[in-house]
Structure 1
C-alpha cells in the first residue's frame, strides 16, 4: 500500500508535538501546497492526538469542501487576504479563540497573470501580507510562516546552488519583475514587522514544487507537462531547457514548512528545496515523458549559450540551512514523478 503524501509530510515534520493545542490559520488552503498543509495537520492530529484546530482559508471554498468537509478539526473559511475588511472581520470573529500560528500560502503564482496583471500581482501579494500581519499582531501569534519564492534570487551569470544570503539581478523596469519584486518587498515587510511589532515571522523561499493536487487551472510548465503526459500526449519543450533547478516534491515541501512553524527561527529566510534533486528543465521534462511512455522533444540552445557565463534565472537553491533544523527530504525527483503520474491516472 502506498503511503499518502500527508502521512509522508507528517512523518518528516520536525518536533510536531510543539503544535499541541495550537489554533492555526492556513491562508491559501485550496492550492497544491496549502491543501496538503491542512491534510498533514489533520494527519498529525489523528496519529499524535495534538488537538490542533485548523482554519482553512481561501477565496473559493468549493475545492476545500471536497477535501475537508468531513474533517471535524478543520474549519473552512472563504477569505480574500487582500481584502482588509474581510481579514478584519475574521480577526474579530476569533477573539474568543485567538489564533496561535499563521501560515501565509495565499499568493497569485500564475506566470500568465504576471504578464496580464502585473499591478494586481504586486498589490495582492503585498496587501495580503499587510492584512495577515495585522491579524497576527492582534492575536499575538507565536509563529508566522510567510511563503516566499526562490524567484527573489533573480538572475545570475552562470549557476550555482544559491544560499540565503545571496541575491542576483532583477530588472526593476520589467513588468515581469512584478512577482519577484513583490516577494522581495514582502520579505522586507515581514522582517520589519519583527522589528516594529514583535511578530515572529519566518520566511520560506520555495523552489520548484511538484506533485499531485494542483488545480486544473494551474498552467505552470510542470503542471502542464504532467497533465499532457497523463493524457498520453507528447511533451514538447520549446526551449532547450538548460536552466538548472532544484526540485522538491510536495510532501517534502509541506514537512519543511511545518518544521519552520515548529523550530524555524524568526527573522530568518530558509530555502525550501531538495538540493539532491538537481536537474535541468529538459531533464525533468524528459523524465516525465519517459515515465509516462510518451514522446519528448525540445528546442536547440542559442549559439551564444554558455552554462558558466550566460544570464539565467537562479533556480538552483541550497537547502543546508533548512537541514540544520533536523529536517530532511524523503522523495527523489524520480519517485516524485512516478507518484504524481500514478495519482493522475
Structure 2
C-alpha cells in the first residue's frame, strides 16, 4: 500500500514507519520537525519505497495514498503548552486537511487520539463509552480539547462524506527515540536517575498511570487501521502503577545516588489513568506483549547511550516534567 504518516519523524511515528517499511509498503513521512527529528528516520532516506516531506499539516497537502496515519501533534505537555495556539491549529486545521485529503483520494484515515480526551476521569478504568471530565479552559485544554474536536471531525466526515476513519485513544507510551527534553514521566525519571539527580514527583505520587512499550502501540495501530472497527478504541496497557511506584522501579533498576523528591502538585493532573482494553482484545485480537521490565531495560539503555553521545551538551534544566504526559 501507499501509506502516509503525519508526524512520522517523531517518537511513535518513526517506529510505525519502520514497521510499515519492513512490511514492504510505500511510506511517505510528513513532518515539520517541531518535535520530530530527522535522525529517527534517516536510515530509510534513499530507499525507493520511502519519501520524506518537510511539511506542516496546518497547510493542505496533495498526495496519492491508500492509508493515512495522522499522528502529527506535539504529545508531551511542555511541547504542546509551549505554543497552545499552534497545538490547537494542528489538531483542528491539520485534521481537517488530512480528512479532506482522505476524502479526495478515498483513503482510510487513522487518528492518533489520546487518553487525555477522558481528562481527570470519574470512571475507572476508562472505557471508550466514557465521555470524559475535561477542563476546557485549563493549561492542558489546547491538547485535550484539540484531540476531542479532532475525533468529532473524523465522525462528521465519516457520516457526511463516507470517509473511512479509525480512532485510536493512545495511553502512556515509552521507548527508544523519546526526546530527552520532552518532559514525560518515563524520560524524566530515567534521565534523573542516570545523572544521580533527585527524581521529582508532583504531589504525593499516588496518581496512577499505565505504561505501554512503543512496539505494542505500533502493533495496535496497525491492527486497528486494517480492521473493520470504526468507533474509538483504547490502545494501552492496563497494568497500573502509582507514579511513586514507577519512580521506585526505575531507581532500583538504575541504582546510583538519586533520591525521590516531592514537589507541589500540578494543575489538572489526572489522578487515575488505566485503559479498559476489552474492545481491543475482542475486536482486534490485540493486547500488550512487552513486559514493563523488558521495555524499561531497552529504554534505559537508549537514554544511557544518548547521554554518552551528548556529554557536555545536554542541559537537564531544559526539560520540565509535567505529570500525566504520555
1:210–1:249 Cα contact (<8 Å) kept? yes
- Report the counterpart of residue 177 of structure 1 in structure 2: 141
What is the Cα deviation at residue 191 of structure 1?
0.7
SS of equivalent residue, structure 1 residue 33: helix
SS of equivalent residue, structure 1 residue 288: helix
What is the Cα deviation at residue 134 of structure 1?
0.8
- Report the counterpart of residue 81 of structure 1 in structure 2: 57
- Report the counterpart of residue 243 of structure 2 in structure 1: 281
What is the Cα deviation at residue 326 of structure 1?
1.2
Q: Are 2:103 and 1:102 aligned?
A: no
SS of equivalent residue, structure 2 residue 169: strand
What is the Cα deviation at residue 151 of structure 1?
0.3
Q: Are 2:56 and 1:54 aligned?
A: no
- Report the counterpart of residue 92 of structure 2 in structure 1: 126
2:78–2:182 Cα contact (<8 Å) kept? no
1:282–1:298 Cα contact (<8 Å) kept? no
TM-score (norm 1): 0.80
- Report the counterpart of residue 153 of structure 2 in structure 1: 189
**Alpha-carbon separation, structure 1, partners of 2:235 and 2:22:** 21
Instruction: Return the match for 2:10 from 6, 16, 31.
Output: 31
SS of equivalent residue, structure 1 residue 25: strand
What is the Cα deviation at residue 280 of structure 1?
1.4
Q: Are 2:116 and 1:151 aligned?
A: yes
- Report the counterpart of residue 288 of structure 2 in structure 1: 329
**Alpha-carbon separation, structure 2, partners of 1:116 and 1:76:** 26
Instruction: Return the match for 1:140 from 106, 120, 126.
Output: 106
Instruction: Return the match for 1:296 from 249, 254, 259.
Output: 259
- Report the counterpart of residue 3 of structure 1 in structure 2: none
What is the Cα deviation at residue 37 of structure 1?
0.2
**Alpha-carbon separation, structure 2, partners of 1:233 and 1:199:** 50
**Alpha-carbon separation, structure 1, partners of 2:10 and 2:191:** 16
TM-score (norm 2): 0.84
- Report the counterpart of residue 233 of structure 2 in structure 1: 270
What is the Cα deviation at residue 320 of structure 1?
1.2
Q: Are 2:8 and 1:42 aligned?
A: no
1:151–1:315 Cα contact (<8 Å) kept? no
SS of equivalent residue, structure 1 residue 260: helix
**Alpha-carbon separation, structure 2, partners of 1:33 and 1:80:** 18
1:108–1:125 Cα contact (<8 Å) kept? no
Instruction: Return the match for 1:212 from 169, 172, 176.
Output: 176
What is the Cα deviation at residue 56 of structure 1?
1.3
Q: Structure 2, unaligned stretches of length 5 or more?
A: 305-326
SS of equivalent residue, structure 1 residue 72: coil
Instruction: Provide, for residues 205-238 of structure 1, a one-character-per-residue CA deviation record: whole Å limited to 9, x for no partner.
Output: 0100011111234222322222233445442324
Instruction: Provide, for residues 36-90 of structure 1, a one-character-per-residue CA deviation record: whole Å limited to 9, x for no partner.
Output: 0000112222xxxxxx111111113733553322533211111111123xx2xxx
**Alpha-carbon separation, structure 2, partners of 1:337 and 1:117:** 30
SS of equivalent residue, structure 1 residue 263: coil
* RMSD (CA atoms): 2.2
Greater shift, 193-202 or 118-127, is seen at 118-127
Residues 237/314 of structure 1: CA separation in 2 closer, same or farther (3 Å cut): closer
